[in-house]
A and B are shown apart, each in its own frame.
Chain A
Amino acid sequence: MSNKGVLITGGQSEMGPLAAAQMRLASFAPYRWFVAAIIWIADKLGLRGRSLVIAMPYLWLLVFFLLPFAIVFKLSFSEIAIAIPPYTPIVSWVDGIYLRLQLSFESYQLLFEDSLYIKAYLNSIKIATVSTLLTLLIGYPMAYGMVRAPKQWRTTLLMLVILPFWTSFLIRVYAWIGILKTKGLLNLLLMNLGIISEPLTILNTNVAVYIGIVYSYLPFMILPLYANLEKLDGSLLEAAADLGCGPFKAFWTITIPLSTAGIVAGCFLVFIPAVGEFVIPDLLGGSDTLMIGKTLWVEFFNNRDWPLASAVAVLLLLILIVPIVLFQKFQERANAQSA
């Protein structure tokens, strides 16, 4: 792309912003390649109709989701170099005749030798696990309360859970800074109430990270739980009561086991993104809060070590692949069952 200037100043163009954007999108190389690729592949395969329709999102995801992972994987075997881009090529021509493959395991070696990275991985998993359990502890009673609330409240309550999910993540995390810092509102309140005499240090500790994760991901826990508990057949609880089972016991023997699907879905939805979380540990955590997402960011932006950042990403992915695959299997099965 040579006309970057056009891209940036496009807003002042005489065309409406949408038309201008479309024009730019149409003249934008990757998009043209994409469309060309669809037509070429469709022609080659003799695809028509249905297949062509499937091909559009399929190819998009192949090109912009799967292919980038291949590149990350490739780059993790490069070496850092002072160049643009800052890494050595893996494949190069020698004397214009031989193709030389040069794999470097330096980044991976570093990951395993420097305890910082191992610690960051383990700590991410620990923080994500603890936060997931805390989210469940707070989310379950809420989802349960919503299901039992009078019918006319339910839409409103559901709305109240969904609303934060639509508002900016960054802003919601930011809101806690003013509350948690040493001279923040929470300390002010507690000191005025006489509960503490010295301000608590919460911001820039793991506690703040837990609060941030629980707060940000709570809707992800509540929604699947609510959906699940709402489907729970009320006559099952009545049948239990009819057979002599008290309300508390019925909760443990009927409600909890039957909401396992919701619990599992909610936990996955909180745990998986929490492991790779960057914004929360960066804004609320301290310098000693090691989380792998933050480490990746620092390696990439501050140290400009792209191969190492790639290696970190590959390992993070390997850690997450198990829960992600489990989650997908779980979802497909749940979909099949409800159908």
Chain B
Amino acid sequence: MKQFSRFNLISLLLGFSFLYLPIIILIIFSFNESKLVTVWGGWSTKWYAELLQNQGIKDAAWVTLKVAFISASVAAVLGTIAGMTLSRFGRFRGRTLFSGMIYAPMVMPDVIIGLSLLLMFVALAVDRGIATITIAHITFSLCYVAVVVQSRLSSFDDSIEEAALDLGCTPAKTFLFITLPVIFPAVISGWLLAFTLSLDDLVIASFTSGPGSTTLPMKIYSQVRLGVTPEINAVSTILVGLVACGVLLASYINRRQAKQRQADEQMAAQAD
């Protein structure tokens, strides 16, 4: 009944070409010998070599990594708590406001988040720099982590927590020894999501950064405005490559675990 028709195949082929061709072209042209982006001058890695000489880009990359690491880690903790709150704590005063504040940053235009945080930092006379960018990133990342954790929690029923409580486990211990291990994969993927969101962000970082705290996207943006350069292609290729490797590795581990689990279950079923 469920036939995979020619129409299905064509729409998938066209759709995925649309999604991937631009990135593939960009990657190919990062190995272009020629300075001109539309003229192919033969294979070369010279733009990567040049990249290593570029102190500005290296500094920006370092800032970006620091911000991404710290903000992802804090967001993972706060977001996990928020996700728990949303899915397990039922009704409490201010729940509507809370869930509103969780969902809103995900759809709020970056310019508004960036502007509002900047204005607050100015109003409180806080000097802008890496720390302010980090706070801004934690704020929107924690919402994503919360949603990921919440959906994981809603996929298994709360009777295992009730069982733990019933057997005399305190709520705090129940969280640490029962809930957390179960949602840990979600926390990890939440962390990864927060990390890449932070790596990606241009607009909010532009608002909340101060002198000397230029992130990589800001650096790329300022150069992109001047036109396409092979050097930016090279940076982009490295970034895309890193993320792709990370995602593929994560999904490989995931799939292997799922397979192992399936095999275990089959073995167990045969033991009956």
Do A and B touch, yes or no (CB under 8 Å, in the complex)?
A: yes
Besides A58-B94, A60-B78, 14 other CB < 8 A contacts? A53-B84, A60-B139, A61-B142, A144-B8, A145-B9, A149-B8, A167-B239, A171-B239, A172-B23, A174-B220, A178-B228, A179-B22, A272-B109, A276-B110
CB distance from A85 to the nearest CB of B (A): 5
Determine if B240 and A167 form an interchain contact, defined as CB atoms under 8 angstroms apart. yes
Determine if A49 and B171 form an interchain contact, defined as CB atoms under 8 angstroms apart. yes
- State A20–B15 Cα separation when bound (angstroms): 46
- State A56–B82 Cα separation when bound (angstroms): 8
- State A245–B187 Cα separation when bound (angstroms): 46
* B56 contacts A by Cβ under 8 Å: no
Given A61-B102, A150-B4, A178-B228, A215–B22 Cβ distance below 8 Å? yes
* A200 contacts B by Cβ under 8 Å: no
Contact of A61 among B98, B120, B224 (CB under 8 A): B98
Given A68-B116, A177-B228, A306-B119, A166–B243 Cβ distance below 8 Å? yes
* A117 contacts B by Cβ under 8 Å: no
CB-CB nearest in chain B for A277: B109
* B12 contacts A by Cβ under 8 Å: yes
Stretch at the interface among B41-49, B198-206, B261-269: B198-206
Contact of B112 among A67, A150, A234, A316 (CB under 8 A): A316
Contact of B119 among A68, A144, A178, A241 (CB under 8 A): A68
Determine if A67 and B120 form an interchain contact, defined as CB atoms under 8 angstroms apart. yes
Interface residues, chain A, with chain B CB atoms under 8 Å away: 1, 4, 7-8, 10-11, 17-18, 21-22, 24-25, 28-31, 49-51, 53-54, 56-58, 60-62, 64-69, 71-72, 75, 85, 138-139, 141-142, 144-146, 148-150, 155, 157, 159-164, 166-172, 174-179, 181, 183-185, 188, 215, 218-219, 234, 237-238, 241, 268-269, 272-273, 275-279, 283, 293, 296-297, 300-301, 306, 309-310, 313, 316-317, 320, 324, 327-328, 331-332, 335, 338-339
Q: List 28 A-B contacts (CB under 8 A).
A: A1-B127, A7-B127, A29-B126, A30-B131, A50-B89, A56-B81, A57-B146, A60-B78, A61-B102, A61-B139, A64-B136, A64-B138, A67-B120, A68-B117, A71-B120, A72-B115, A138-B15, A142-B15, A145-B11, A146-B12, A149-B8, A162-B247, A168-B217, A171-B240, A184-B38, A276-B111, A297-B111, A324-B108
Interface residues on B, range: 35 or more
**Number of cross-chain contacts by CB at 8 Å:** 294
The binding surface of chain A is classed by DSSP as helix
Contact of B130 among A10, A66, A144, A174 (CB under 8 A): A10
Given A178-B25, A234-B1, A7–B12 Cβ distance below 8 Å? no
Determine if B66 and A21 form an interchain contact, defined as CB atoms under 8 angstroms apart. yes
CB distance from A164 to the nearest CB of B (A): 5
Contact of B38 among A10, A69, A183, A268 (CB under 8 A): A183
Question: Which has the most chain B C-beta neighbours within 10 Å: A68, A310, A339?
Answer: A68
